[in-house]
Chains A and B, each alone.
Chain A
Amino acid sequence: MVETMKLEIFRYRPEKESVPTFQTYKVPFREDWVVLDAINHIKDEIDGTLSYRWSCQMGVCGSCGMMINNVPKLSCAAFLKDYYPDKIRIEPLTGFPVERDLIFEMDDFMTKLTEIQPYIIRKEGEEKPLDEGEYLQSPAELAHFKQYSMCINCMLCYAACPVYAIDSTFIGPAAIALGQRYNMDSRDQGRDSRQELIASHEGIWECTFVGECSAVCPKDVDPAAAIQRAKVSSTVDWFKDVLIPWGKKK
């Protein structure tokens, strides 16, 4: 007798329904299966109409994020055995508009990611000619930002953030953490050009430090810490401007 368990999956097919429903599927229970394996089984064997995103199946691509029993997780890293024998409820990541079933629209995140300029910026005239070689960096300098560079853009942090769910103008955890990653990079000189967005009302000051973005991050990026640290440096900027206006920026 094969052990089974139930998956209750969010369904939204815009051509036939205006409000989503839930559909329950019975799948075989296997110790070594993750939720994504069970969903792949449904797609292959039970209901080919189910739509969802996935790719690497090893926690690298960041495509398969879903709400699993209300918690944002990579479905390739959530084992069935951790839920067995209870039913698992699966929904698209919260905070994003749903396109179909478990697929959500990520345009807003992509726009914000671009706006934060997540790449090394050199000041005008300070770009080294290629034949002078690379910009050197010590292991200690790397240690300062390495954690923030581990982001895989899976958007679990956005789904965990109640601020983003309520007000989607918030730049959000991953984008700010990536901005901070480059701001803290010794080779980068672009902090001033990122600062307008990071220190804006839609940036760090929208964050109320719920901290769940860091709790759900599969790569231990700790975006909540990145945001709070950006708040500290922006506050220091403000005091410098007010108290020593003649001292102006570097």
Chain B
Amino acid sequence: MNTYHRPVPNTWWLKRKPYILFMIRELTSVFVAGYCIFLLVLVYKLTQGADAYGNFMAALKSPSSVALHLITLAFVLYHTITWFNLTPKILVLYRGEERVPQGLVAGTFYAGWVVVSVIVAWLVLGV
């Protein structure tokens, strides 16, 4: 029998909103990885002495660097929120016959995020 195989265009992900959001979620991982590399470079500059570190920090204050950091922040937030929202699918807990509410599972991650953020803010701003 002659069956017809429908081609899948490269633009398949533009067809529906959930696919576009998925592609954005995947793309955000590039920014997460990029920022990890940036942090490694920062630590490396620290080992190069006060001058090298100071020059690097000064360069970070340029408008393009600030803009890039803001864009990265937006993508990393999107990445974090979308993955936290997916955690109840992976972490399925039961109390007897009752499933632990999905909101509680995701909420625990959000609470952890807040706690860690407060500690970091206290270390950076408070000391």
Contacts and interface: CB of A to CB of B under 8 A. Distances in A.
Nearest to B89: A225
B22 A210 contact: yes
Contacts of B5: 97-98
Interface residues of B, number: 24
B19 A210 contact: yes
B122 interface: no
B3 A162 contact: no
A212 B12 CA distance: 14
Contacts of A222: 89
Interface residues of A, number: 34
Contacts of B12: 162, 165-166
B96 A140 contact: yes
B16 A70 contact: yes
Contact of B90 (A71, A139, A143, A232): A232
A20 interface: yes
Contact of B19 (A14, A162, A232): A162
A19 to B, nearest CB: 8
Interface in A148-169: 162, 165-166
B51 interface: no
A220 B92 CA distance: 15
B23 to A, nearest CB: 9
B18 interface: yes
Given A162-B13, A225-B89, A12 B4 contact: yes
Contacts of A215: 18
A229 to B, nearest CB: 6
Contacts, number: 70
A144 B16 CA distance: 33
A98 B3 contact: yes
Interface of A: 12, 14, 18-20, 70-71, 94, 97-99, 105, 139-140, 142-144, 162, 165-166, 208-212, 214-215, 222, 224-225, 228-229, 231-232
Contacts of A214: 89
A98 to B, nearest CB: 4
Given A12-B4, A140-B97, 15 more contacts: A20-B6, A97-B4, A98-B5, A99-B3, A105-B3, A139-B97, A140-B96, A143-B97, A143-B99, A162-B8, A165-B8, A166-B12, A225-B92, A228-B90, A229-B92
A229 B36 CA distance: 27
Contact of A20 (B1, B4, B86, B89): B4
Given A144-B94, A211-B86, A222-B89, A14 B18 contact: no
Interface string B51-94: 00000000000000000000000000000000000100110101
B96 to A, nearest CB: 5
A97 B6 CA distance: 7
Interface string B11-31: 011011011001000100000
B47 interface: no
Q: Across chains A and B, which 3 residue pairs bring their CB atoms closest together, nearest first? A: A97-B3, A225-B89, A14-B2
Given A162-B13, A225-B90, A229-B92, A211 B4 contact: no
A17 B8 CA distance: 20
A18 to B, nearest CB: 8
